[in-house]
């Protein structure tokens, strides 16, 4: 069981990569479909021909009619997966406020994501969000910059800022009578901008905003946008407050190495048993723990601080009589 949990982080990267590459593949499929619909292969430019040929070669083993490729459409903001329509809960909430009405056919499309968030907390942030894919790479860049001696700041801001962003966003949606989140919400921006760039030949205004968030993460604080600003992250934090599945430290096997704290991009404190509403169950800390002290548990609350790890210096100094060697995992 433990050894399986250690590989969850790789599985998570697989998931992130699949989502991100789908966002790139789908616009090409759309282009191919439009070429087919126009019955004008001979009129295509050489680049368009290459796109058409490539997509055809890749998809023809699976579908007979290019129309069938429409089974998967859209992005993480709202998409269709083999007939199942799924939408981001933030999109639904935004529409309710903008239109001041309930359009149930749309609201139900957020049901599955909401249930998943109630059970697993901010898993969307860790496992699916296409922005995470880039933000985590950006964080690696920050680590390199730091090694190269460049100043990379790690300030602590107030976690509640993002709830203000959420509320202000909802109020603005009411005021303008339009869903305002789509333009400042990184996963929605990325899905859309990739489509714009591939199918419409250029990035839109959102790309600039996303670049700014990358700089924010580099200059101000690690994963700063996700931790302090993102309205979706705020909504998921609220929904996942009493999540059933959460990570827990086994104090008996912890050796106080603090690797978990270092690896957590959300700046949480597994070493003090402090996961809170921000933990997105990404399992990076589980993967890095040398003694397998971290694992999942079923509970609606984090445990209170259990004290220093029993395999650590501090505990052993305080309890010289306890022989901890048999509990240590090698």
Partner 1 sequence: MKRRNFLQYLASSGLLAFVNSEGVQAAFAPSIRYLRPPGSHDEKKFLSKCIRCGKCGETCPNRTIKFFSTENGISSLDTPYIIPREQACILCMKCGEVCPTGAIPKIEYKAEPIMEKVKMGMARVDTNLCLSYQGKTCGVCYRACPLQDVAIKVGRLEQPHVLEKCVGCGLCERSCIQIPQAIRVIPKYQG
195 binds partner 1 (CB under 8 A): yes
Task: Return the structure tokens found at 293.
Answer: 């002290």
- Reduced to 3 states, what is the DSSP secondary structure of residue 102? coil
93 binds ligand SF4 (CB under 6 A): no
Report the residue number, 27 or 232, with the smaller CB distance to ligand SF4. Answer: 232
Report the residue number, 191 or 309, with the smaller CB distance to ligand SF4. Answer: 191
Contacts of residue 260, defined as CB under 8 A and 6 or more positions apart, other chains included, come to 249, 270, 271, 285, 288, 289, 294
**Least Å from the CB of residue 304 to ligand SF4:** 27
Answer for the pair 29, 51: CB distance below 8 angstroms, yes or no: no
- Reduced to 3 states, what is the DSSP secondary structure of residue 178? coil
**Least Å from the CB of residue 296 to ligand SF4:** 20
Binding-site member from 105, 147, 317, 320 for partner 1 (CB under 8 A): 105
Binding-site member from 98, 134, 165, 288 for partner 1 (CB under 8 A): 98
Residue 103 contact partner, candidates partner 1, ligand SF4, none, CB within 5 to 8 A by sort of partner? partner 1
**Least Å from the CB of residue 232 to partner 1:** 13
79 binds ligand SF4 (CB under 6 A): no
199 binds partner 1 (CB under 8 A): yes
Rounded CA gap, 288 and 148, in Å? 24
Residue 34 contact partner, candidates partner 1, ligand SF4, none, CB within 5 to 8 A by sort of partner? partner 1
Answer for the pair 158, 229: CB distance below 8 angstroms, yes or no: no
Nearest to 234 by CA among 188, 191, 277: 277
If phi > 0 it is left, if psi is from -120 to 50 it is alpha, else beta; for residue 32 that is: alpha
306 binds partner 1 (CB under 8 A): no
129 binds ligand SF4 (CB under 6 A): yes
Binders of ligand SF4 among 156-195, rule CB under 6 A?
A: 186-187
170 binds partner 1 (CB under 8 A): no
Phi and psi dihedrals of 292, rounded to 5?
55, 40
207 binds partner 1 (CB under 8 A): no
If phi > 0 it is left, if psi is from -120 to 50 it is alpha, else beta; for residue 79 that is: beta
**Least Å from the CB of residue 232 to ligand SF4:** 4
Cross-strand partners of 73: 80
240 binds ligand SF4 (CB under 6 A): no
19 binds ligand SF4 (CB under 6 A): no
Contacts of residue 184, defined as CB under 8 A and 6 or more positions apart, other chains included, come to 169, 209, 231
Answer for the pair 36, 145: CB distance below 8 angstroms, yes or no: no
**Least Å from the CB of residue 256 to ligand SF4:** 29
Residue 125 contact partner, candidates partner 1, ligand SF4, none, CB within 5 to 8 A by sort of partner? ligand SF4
Q: Please choose, out of 52-60, 86-94, 220-228, 283-291, the segment that lies near partner 1 by the rule CB under 8 A.
A: 86-94
Nearest to 30 by CA among 207, 187, 190, 198: 198
Report the residue number, 187 or 240, with the smaller CB distance to ligand SF4. Answer: 187
Rounded CA gap, 244 and 196, in Å? 39
**Least Å from the CB of residue 73 to partner 1:** 6
Rounded CA gap, 261 and 24, in Å? 33
Give the interface with ligand SF4 as residue ranges (CB under 6 A). Answer: 124-125, 129, 131-132, 186-187, 226, 230, 232-233
């Amino acid at each position: 069981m433990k050894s399986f949990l250690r590989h969850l982080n790789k599985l998570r990267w697989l998931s992130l990569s699949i989502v991100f590459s789908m966002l790139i593949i789908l616009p090409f499929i759309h282009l191919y479909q439009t070429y087919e619909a126009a019955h004008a292969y001979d009129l295509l430019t050489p680049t368009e021909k290459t796109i058409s040929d490539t997509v055809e070669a890749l998809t023809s083993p699976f579908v007979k009619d290019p129309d069938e490729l429409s089974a998967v459409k859209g992005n993480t903001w709202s998409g269709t997966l083999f007939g199942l329509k799924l939408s981001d809960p933030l999109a639904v909430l935004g529409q309710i406020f903008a239109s001041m009405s309930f359009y149930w056919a749309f609201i139900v499309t957020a049901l599955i994501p909401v249930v998943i968030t109630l059970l697993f907390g901010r898993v969307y942030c860790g496992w699916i969000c296409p922005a995470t894919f880039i933000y985590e790479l950006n964080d690696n860049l920050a680590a390199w910059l730091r090694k190269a001696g460049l100043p990379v700041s790690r300030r602590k801001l107030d976690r509640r800022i993002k709830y203000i962003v959420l509320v202000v966003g909802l109020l603005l949606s009411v005021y303008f009578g339009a869903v305002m989140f789509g333009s400042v919400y990184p996963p929605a921006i990325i899905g859309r901008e990739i489509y714009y760039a591939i199918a419409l030949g250029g990035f839109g205004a959102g790309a600039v905003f996303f670049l700014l968030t990358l700089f924010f993460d580099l200059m101000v604080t690690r994963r700063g946008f996700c931790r302090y600003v993102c309205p979706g992250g705020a909504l998921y934090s609220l929904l996942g407050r009493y999540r059933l599945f959460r990570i827990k430290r086994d104090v008996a096997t912890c050796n106080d190495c603090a690797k978990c704290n270092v690896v957590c991009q959300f700046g949480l404190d597994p070493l003090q048993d402090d996961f809170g509403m921000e933990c997105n169950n990404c399992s990076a800390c589980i993967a890095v723990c040398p003694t397998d002290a971290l694992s999942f548990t079923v509970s609606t609350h984090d445990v209170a601080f259990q004290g220093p790890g029993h395999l650590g210096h501090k505990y052993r100094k305080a309890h010289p009589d306890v022989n901890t060697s048999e509990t240590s995992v090698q």
